[in-house]
Amino acid sequence: MFLPTVNTQSALSSALRSTLRCRGIIAADMAMEGVAAAALQLAEQALAAEQWAEAVGFAEQGIAADAKHAGELIATASLRLARHAALDGDFAEAIKQAETGCAADPRSDAARQQLALLRKAAGRVSRVAGSGHFPDTIGMTSGQWWKGDLLSEVRGWDDQGASVPAPTIMAEVVREHLEDIYALGIYRPWHDGIPPKFTRYIRELKKHGATVEQAVILLYQGLTRDVQSGAPGWIEQIDAIVPMATGWRSYEERGREITEDLAGELAAMLCVSYVDIFERSADATPTHQLSGYEARVEAIVSELRMKNTGGELLRDAGGVLIVDDVVTYGSTFEACARKIRELYPRMRCWGAALAYTQTAGRLEKAERESE
The answer to whether residues 222 and 321 belong to one domain is: yes
In the predicted model, is pLDDT for residue 294 greater than 60? yes
For 218-245, b/e burial (b = at least 16 CB within 10 A) is bbbbbbbbbeebbbbebbbbbbbbbbbb
Handedness of CA 251, 352, 139, 124 (dihedral sign): negative
What is each CA distance from 2 to 5, 8, 9, 34, 47, in whole angstroms? 9, 11, 12, 44, 64
CATH number at residue 351: 3.40.50
Q: pTM higher than 0.75 for the full model?
A: yes
- Does residue 144 lie in a domain region? no
Question: Average pLDDT for residues 8-37, to the nearest whole number?
Answer: 54
Please tell me the total count of domains within the chain: 2
Q: Which domain holds residue 91?
A: 6-126
What is each CA distance from 355 to 65, 163, 209, 327, in whole angstroms? 52, 9, 15, 6
Biggest CA-to-CA distance, the chain:
117
- Does residue 306 lie in a domain region? yes
Q: Using pLDDT thresholds of 50, 70 and 90, give the confidence band for residue 128.
A: low
Q: What is the per-residue pLDDT for 98?
A: 92
8 Å CB contact between 348 and 237: yes
Q: Using pLDDT thresholds of 50, 70 and 90, give the confidence band for residue 355.
A: confident
- Does residue 140 lie in a domain region? no
The answer to whether residues 205 and 64 belong to one domain is: no
- Does residue 135 lie in a domain region? no
Beta strands in the chain (DSSP E): 180-187, 240-243, 273-274, 278-280, 304-306, 319-327, 348-357
The C-alpha atoms of residue 308 and residue 52 are separated, in whole angstroms, by 33
The answer to whether residues 26 and 171 belong to one domain is: no
Residue type, 172: E
CATH number at residue 102: 1.25.40
The answer to whether residues 85 and 204 belong to one domain is: no
Handedness of CA 147, 324, 171, 240 (dihedral sign): negative
The answer to whether residues 323 and 197 belong to one domain is: yes
The answer to whether residues 191 and 110 belong to one domain is: no
**Among 99, 103, 97, which residue's Cα sits nearest to residue 83?**
97
The answer to whether residues 87 and 180 belong to one domain is: no
Please write the tens of the pLDDT for every residue from 254-280.
Answer: 555 778 888 998 999 899 999 998 887
3-class DSSP state of 112: helix
Q: Tell which of 68, 95, 126 closes a domain.
A: 126
Q: Using pLDDT thresholds of 50, 70 and 90, give the confidence band for residue 77.
A: very high
In the predicted model, is pLDDT for residue 348 greater than 50? yes
The answer to whether residues 56 and 184 belong to one domain is: no
Question: Average pLDDT for residues 41-60, to the nearest whole number?
Answer: 91
- Does residue 132 lie in a domain region? no
Q: What is the per-residue pLDDT for 313?
A: 79
- Does residue 134 lie in a domain region? no
The answer to whether residues 105 and 172 belong to one domain is: no
The answer to whether residues 260 and 328 belong to one domain is: yes
Question: Average pLDDT for residues 16-40, to the nearest whole number?
Answer: 60
